[in-house]
Chains A and B, each alone.
Chain A
């Protein structure tokens, strides 16, 4: 065991400070130290994307980031996007278009999709598929996930236009 270090993380707008071994993976720090269990442990080998969070403005697989590297970072998980009473527009659309079945991949899908729509507000179907290529779903066959994201994009754009 190596020495524990002080880690500071801002998760979903809230500051946290805790002790952790540098080798601890960000996903375990989130889930087990901070009880933020939205991001899931799927494959733990950077393939499946269930652990996707936004870190300093980048979509990352939190199973492939040491907590030491994340020290000082700003992290957004699915909990930071919406709440059960006020769903994020992506969450609404996943619900509406049946963009999930078992739901295991969904927090990663939605976190990734939120970043994707930030970068490409009006994506084509191909851009959505390419943009979520790092997230694996074993239930839906992706059709409804893509539909949900495209629908969320057009609602977001309509809302933006209405506001202007």
Chain B
């Protein structure tokens, strides 16, 4: 499997990246870990005449937590997330989710920025970022701007990022309470048949706040406000969980593919959300 030929660039500063993106428009793409883009190029489903490697740009990786805000550089890998003690303390759902992405080799290369910026509905981080109400920082010819994760995804592979912009980091307030990332997949390394990201906080034996997002059940990640509302104020009893699942099912729009027909995906979505809520509640 040989991809189409491309020109390769490895600039050493962001100005160089932006200049190349401006020059070549949508004929250019940046590459981070490449573990979504390279397979697409090998299959010739993506043609990238100008490939801009970000590996020599300084300051794009690393995790910092300041005043309760978690900040993750775009080039931070899934492996980095899994092995970061501060991340585990501030947002343990990140490790739980990252461990369910692909396999060890892919996690050494796959980056948080690539995972969220690519816009593949199968990627796990976009759903997680909906759940955490993250912000994405973009840089471009007109400077930096911030876009809410919940406003970022327009359709499969279509995002709010302009062709001459680069996603440089994500940030979110460290979540409180219990968490769970539950993923149903056919085998190690597969994308989700259905996955759910859940954060729940508890006060006086009742659900105080909740956030619920689903992965690979629509052409964009689905943040289900109605599902979370169904839990708030309850003691997470069967009726509340059932109501949350029903609300979530109204918000998703899966399509049939090699992971199964629509009815099966809806069934799997209900199961993973039920499990995720139970686990998050038990940790709240």
Does A19 reach chain B (CB closer than 8 Å)?
no
Pick the most buried of B1, B31, B39, B104: most chain A CB atoms within 10 A of its CB. Answer: B104
- Among the listed stretches A46-54, A80-88, A96-104, A143-151, which one makes contact with chain B, having 4 or more residues with CB under 8 Å of it? A46-54
B89 in contact (CB, < 8 A): no
Asked if A69 contacts B108 (CB within 8 A), the reply is no
Cross-chain contact B53 with A64 (CB below 8 angstroms): no
In the assembly, what is the distance between CA of A1 and CA of B49, in Å? 11
> Which A residues between 120 and 164 are near B, CB-CB below 8 angstroms?
130-134
B79 in the interface, Cβ–Cβ < 8 Å? yes
Residue on A with the closest CB to B48?
Answer: A23
A68 near B189: Cβ-Cβ < 8 Å: no
User: Given B4, B55, B105, which contacts A134 in the complex, CB threshold below 8 Å?
Assistant: B105
- Please report the C-alpha to C-alpha distance between residue A59 and residue B103 in the assembled complex, in whole angstroms: 11
Minimum Cβ distance to chain B for residue A121 (Å):
15
By the criterion CB–CB under 8 Å, are A65 and B34 in contact? yes
Considering only CB atoms and an 8 Å cut-off, how many residues of chain B contact the other chain? 29
Query: Residues of B contacting A47 with CB < 8 Å?
Result: 189
Most A-side CB within 10 Å, residue of B8, B10, B34, B102: B8
Interface size in chain A (residues, C-beta < 8 A):
31
Contacts of B4 in A (CB 8 A): 23
- Nearest CB to that of A59 among chain B residues? B105
User: CB within 8 A of A66: which of B34, B102, B104?
Assistant: B34
- A58 and B108 contacting across the interface, CB-CB below 8 Å: yes
Pair B103/A133 contact, Cβ less than 8 Å: yes
Name the residue on B nearest A49 (C-beta): B105
User: In the complex the two chains form, is B3's CB within 8 Å of A23's CB?
Assistant: yes
Interchain CB contact under 8 A, A23 and B105: no
Residues of chain B within 8 A (CB-CB) of A132 are 104
With both chains docked as a complex, state the minimum distance between the C-beta of B81 and any C-beta of chain A, in angstroms.
Answer: 14
Minimum-distance CB pairs A-B, first 7: A134-B103, A22-B8, A2-B5, A58-B108, A68-B8, A134-B105, A133-B188
Q: List 20 A-B contacts (CB under 8 A).
A: A2-B6, A23-B3, A23-B5, A23-B41, A45-B39, A45-B42, A46-B35, A46-B106, A49-B103, A58-B109, A59-B105, A61-B106, A64-B34, A65-B109, A68-B53, A69-B31, A69-B34, A112-B104, A134-B104, A134-B106
Given contacts A64-B38, A134-B102, 17 further A-B contacts (CB under 8 A): A1-B5, A3-B7, A23-B2, A44-B1, A44-B42, A46-B38, A46-B106, A49-B105, A58-B109, A59-B104, A60-B105, A65-B34, A65-B38, A69-B53, A130-B104, A134-B104, A134-B188
Q: Give residues in B with beta carbon < 8 Å to A.
A: 1-8, 10, 31, 34-35, 38-39, 41-42, 51, 53, 55, 79, 102-106, 108-109, 188-189
A residues bordering B, Cβ < 8 Å? 1-3, 5, 21-23, 25, 44-47, 49, 52, 58-61, 64-66, 68-69, 71, 112, 116, 130-134
